[in-house]
Structures are given as structure tokens and as C-alpha cells.
Amino acid sequence: MTRSERLPLIAAIQMVSGPEVDANLAQAAVLLAQAAAAGARLAVLPENFALMGLRETDKLTVAEADGDGPIQAFLGEQARRHGLWLVGGTIPLRGAGERARAACLLYDERGERVARYDKMHMFDVQVGDQEAYRESATLEPGSEPVLVETPFGRLGLAVCYDLRFPELFRLLAGQGMQILALPSAFTATTGAAHWEVLLRARAVENLCYVVAAAQGGRHANGRETFGDSMIVEPWGRVLARRATGEGVVAAPIDLDHLRELRARFPALDHRRL
């Protein structure tokens, strides 16, 4: 076995989720089985993997209590069944009031939940004349960055629109982040303009791996997501990607390569602010 074959494999799952939770979970199960069969040790599901509703308020009808519900049970069971660490995209968890939280949950290979990150930045934008989004109408923002020690390195969690706020990733890098998991559902318009350049910039400026799992296609609600799930290494090179449609992309994570880059190019140590 070569050295590259011994490196842990990390997978990004791309989906085109619809308005039926059960159907989405069934499709996620198929893709996670494919990732596990390919040898993945960690898999990342996309944002809204369990539901892309016909209306924004649909997420409130399926929102679960923290620690209890069929979507959370599914994530734990899948992680345990396949013996992999699983970043559960985002699911709606009940908030303090009428809104929910877009929660990104991390499970270990035993199916135990080890972390929860709530999406911090709400996508309240006017993309075009006929395309506008106001996440804050149904979601309340989180406030705490999350970094987790895993067998594959220090894993930071972020979600979609967070990608446009580099201060979040600089903070995580300062805490030792080596891998960034980024479940997303970028719009087709913004994805075509900014997705790749932002992902590669976050990898380069923080000298970390980026595992970006996206929604990628036309959804039942009429929305079109950009897709292009990819894995980027710390020098900005794209190791694997998928343009559109459901599927799995995977690549090895080499922390020795990361450490060598950081030693030869210690930009993180040169910060003045």
C-alpha cells in the first residue's frame, strides 16, 4: 500500500433535495453508503439536505428539538452503520422563539454527537430583480464558532453564506483549524460568480483543507442551486469536484503536507492584526 493510499479519505456529498424528508433521507443514505464503500472516514452532507421546502416556512414544520427527532436519529445511525465521522449538513432545530436554528451537527464513528454549530450569518440578500432571500424570517443566527479535534485533524464547521466572512475562518485558523467543512446551498447566480474563488481563497489564506458539500440542481420549489462540490487543499489546488447532480466527491487529507506548507510559508505566524 502506498503512502497516499494510507491517507484518510474525506468525502463531500452533493444532493438535489426536495420537499419530502423521507425521500431526502433515503437518497442521503444511498450517497453515504457510496462514500463509505469508497473508503471515506469522514463525510459532509450539504446544507438543507433533509428538506428543500416549497415554502421557506416548511422548515419550521419539521424543526426538531435539540437531541431528539428522526433526522438526528438518521444521522447518528448512518455514522454508526458506516463507521465514519459525519457532518450532518444543516437541519432545523427549534430556537428560543418562533424561528429555528440552521444547525450543523457532527457525529463520530460510533454515532455519538460530538458538536453542534448554528449558522451565524443569515442570507438576507437581493440577488436579482426576481430573486431575493430572507433567511432571518425563519432562522435565528448562532453566535459561537466551533472547532473540533478529530482523528483526521482539527475540524472547523461553517455553513454556506458564512463563506463570505473571512474573519470567522481567521479566528478558527488561530485556534488551530486544519480542515474546514462547509455544507452549502449556493444559488446558481452567486455560485457562478463567487463559489470557487471564495473556497480557494479560504483554503489559501488559512492554509487548510476545505471540504465543501453543496446542493446542485433544480429543486421542486423552482430554486436552482449551483453545485460544484469540491475538496481544496491548503495551496488552493482543487483535488476533486462535481459540477451538478447527486453524487460523491472524495480526496485524501494529508496533514504532513499541511504542516510542511505552514512551516515553509508561515503566513499565519506573520499576522500583524
Domain membership of residue 37 (yes or no) is yes
For the chain, how many structural domains are there in total? 1
pTM: 0.96
Q: 64, 104, 160, 246: which is the annotated catalytic residue?
A: 160
Residue with cell 440542481: 217
CA dist 156 and 138 (Å) reads: 25
For residue range 145-176, what is the model confidence (pLDDT) as tens digits? 999 999 999 999 999 999 999 999 999 999 99
Q: Does residue 271 sit within a domain?
A: no
Has residue 272 been placed in a domain?
no
Task: Check if the beta carbon of residue 120 is closer than 8 Å to that of residue 108.
Answer: no
Domain that holds residue 245: 3-265
270 located within any domain: no
Task: Name the one residue in this structure whose C-alpha cell is 449556493.
Answer: 186
Per-residue pLDDT tens over the stretch 228-266: 999 999 999 999 999 999 999 999 999 999 999 999 999
Q: Looking at residue 2, what is its pLDDT?
A: 63
pLDDT average, residue stretch 82-102: 96
pLDDT confidence of 96, banded at 50, 70, 90? confident
**CA 59, CA 64: separation in Å to the nearest integer?**
10
State mean pLDDT over 215-219. 97
The answer to whether 149 and 180 are in contact (CB under 8 A) is no
pLDDT of residue 139: 97
Q: Does residue 56 have an active-site annotation?
A: no
Q: Quick check: is 87 in a domain?
A: yes
Kindly compute the dihedral angle of the four CA atoms of residues 37, 24, 12, 169, in this order, to the nearest 10 degrees: -150
Residue 6, pLDDT score:
85
For this structure, is 59 an active site residue? no
pLDDT of residue 4: 65
Residue 1 predicted with pLDDT over 70: no
Look at residue 196 and tell me if it is in a domain: yes
Give the C-alpha distances (Å, rounded to integers) separating 76 from 40, 46, 106, 207, 210: 16, 16, 9, 31, 23
Asked if 104 is an active-site residue, the reply is no
Cα separation of 11 and 211, whole Å?
A: 7
Question: Hey, what's the cell of 33?
Answer: 453508503
Catalytic annotation, pick one of 59, 64, 104, 119: 119
Q: Of 47, 64, 135, 140, which is the active-site residue?
A: 47
Q: CB within 8 A of 249, min separation 6: which ones?
A: 11, 12, 14, 229, 230, 231, 240, 241, 242
Nearest to 169 by CA among 43, 254, 268, 252: 268
Q: What percent of the chain has pLDDT over 90?
A: 94
Q: Which residues are registered as beta bridge partners of 218?
A: 224
Mean pLDDT over the full length of the chain: 96
- For 131-147, what is each residue's pLDDT tens digit? 899 999 999 999 999 99
3 or 24: which leads in pLDDT: 24
Residue 255 lies in a domain: yes
Residue 126: CATH number of its domain: 3.60.110.10
Judge whether 232 lies within some domain. Answer: yes
